[in-house]
A and B are shown apart, each in its own frame.
Chain A
Amino acid sequence: MALGLFSVLLFIGFWYFATKYRWSMYIRFGNIPSPVDVFNEAMTLGKNADFYNNMVVSMRRILLGFGIATFAGVGLGLLIGRYRLMHNLFFPVMEMLRPIPAIAWVPISIMLWPTNESSIVFITFIGSFFPILLNTVEGVFSLDKVLVRAARSLGASEFALLKDVILPGALPHIFTGLAVGMGVAWVSLIAAEMISGQFGIGYFTWEAYSLIQYADIVIGMIVIGVLGLACSGAIRLLGRLVMPWISPNDGRS
């Protein structure tokens, strides 16, 4: 704890002196705003409604893109994991599209979707969809088959099997997928907003660069970090709530 605090202070101290004396070796601190600049600018921005609006817009895009990816990824993942036919039908396409990073979809997405907003949501969706899908499939595959048999011998219908056995059984893997997916969703969102956005915290950050409001860049970065962290934390909390049978001390830290 103390050591962690020390390293944070060391980092801020380095930042402060590097910008104060405008260090310039190979990397140049000449235009980098100092922690003091950033703090002062934050105080001003804090009273600016547009700034909050940018956060709201980004969060809405995340919720939409990630939300759709969750439903589509988990739903399709359960079917692909459960039915050989679905696996043979869909898996090759998924394997083909998976290695393409979400950012590479940006130009196509702009052409594909009628509004900027929908194309950004799409990029966010693409980024989080594959980790969620693949982890769900993996979750179904790794489910102990004896549980499926037990459910069958207790009279479970195919639908009940999916809902009451395969879905909950795959939940630990699904939540791994959600955590990874959330991270990728933010990466994709920020890139999409920087390239094609109007509003949003990624747009704000890039615009600050264009408008030479350098302190705002750092504020944008910090906000992105904090929002991303909050979203990951929310996923982890949700995971703990819906999987009470997994004791926290044998799960991931």
Chain B
Amino acid sequence: MSSNEAVTKAVAEKGRIQIDDLQVTFGQNGNQVDAVSGVSIHIEPGEFVSIVGPSGCGKSTLLNAVAGFVKPSGGTLLLDGKAIKGPGADRGMVFQQYSLFPWMSVRKNVEFGLKMQRMASGQRESAARTLLGLAGLLAFENHYPDQLSGGMRQRVGIVRALATSPQVLLMDEPFGALDAQTRVVMQEILTNMWQRFRISVLFITHDIDESIFLSDRVYVMTARPGKIKAEIAIPLPRPRLPEMSTSAEFLKIREQLHALIREESLKAMGGELKEGGLSGFGIEVGPEGVGELV
């Protein structure tokens, strides 16, 4: 355990993300769409930052750029001072869809990143079991993902992303597909894991309460092209407790964020109405459907 703590401490010094004037454009000449435009976000080591915004605003695209799945057309992307060139194990990724390998047991899924680092199988196994134990999943280590509930699958997904001791965790609406109760539980689990590992988190969500409950800071993005509209600090003390969601401070922030996003949603819908209904769909699919680059 002590070596584990040493590792987590070392990690806490790292995980600084600097996004400066980021530009992501999809499509070819004549048919281009700016998905992200002039976005600058700085995340300190160990900080929990969320991005909220209307659907189709490019927040997932932004995350995919940090993950290395999408090539920016302009600006700089730095992780601990080094340019991000492609996907890598220094950034753990948790997806909205279930992304566990269905042919691997829960433990093998968690071991995957370590296997890629050529860790010996015995070491891999004990590392995976330690992590699964922390997440209360040890009893399910030999289950296949299909045998787990949605919430458990996402928990395994988080554990898998943490297994390689990444400097940052990138989360793309990870609880979006879960029911409300599971979601609340997952938020608490995530907070616990984050505090234990002290790594930076970039968290995408469209759920305002979720962003407040989890984050140190929340960025609001505008409708397409995605720009940063506002940056809001969440001064609520930690540990965050479910009761806080009725506190005056929470409600005030919530009000503020709602107003900001409503404005953008209306703008986005207005735009769609003007351009004709179908264009809205095209944009949803376009920027997110970037399988080509993988």
Contact = CB atoms under 8 A, between A and B. Distances in A.
Interface string A164-200: 1100110100000000000000000000000000000
Given A155-B116, A156-B116, A164-B112, A150 B164 contact: no
A165 B97 contact: no
A44 interface: no
22 contacts: A144-B99, A147-B101, A149-B67, A149-B87, A149-B93, A149-B99, A151-B101, A151-B112, A153-B87, A153-B89, A153-B161, A154-B89, A155-B89, A155-B164, A156-B116, A164-B115, A168-B101, A169-B101, A169-B103, A243-B103, A245-B102, A245-B144
A130 to B, nearest CB: 26
Contacts of A157: 116
A241 interface: no
A148 interface: yes
Interface of A: 144-157, 160, 164-165, 168-169, 171, 243-245, 247
Contacts of A154: 89, 112-113, 116, 160-161, 164
A165 to B, nearest CB: 7
B239 interface: no
Interface residue SS majority, chain B: loop
Interface in B155-200: 160-161, 164, 170
A155 B294 CA distance: 13
B95 A245 contact: no
A197 to B, nearest CB: 41
Contact of B99 (A147, A160, A168, A244): A147
Contacts of B67: 149, 153
A156 B97 CA distance: 20
A87 to B, nearest CB: 13
Given A145-B294, A164-B112, A245-B103, A153 B93 contact: yes
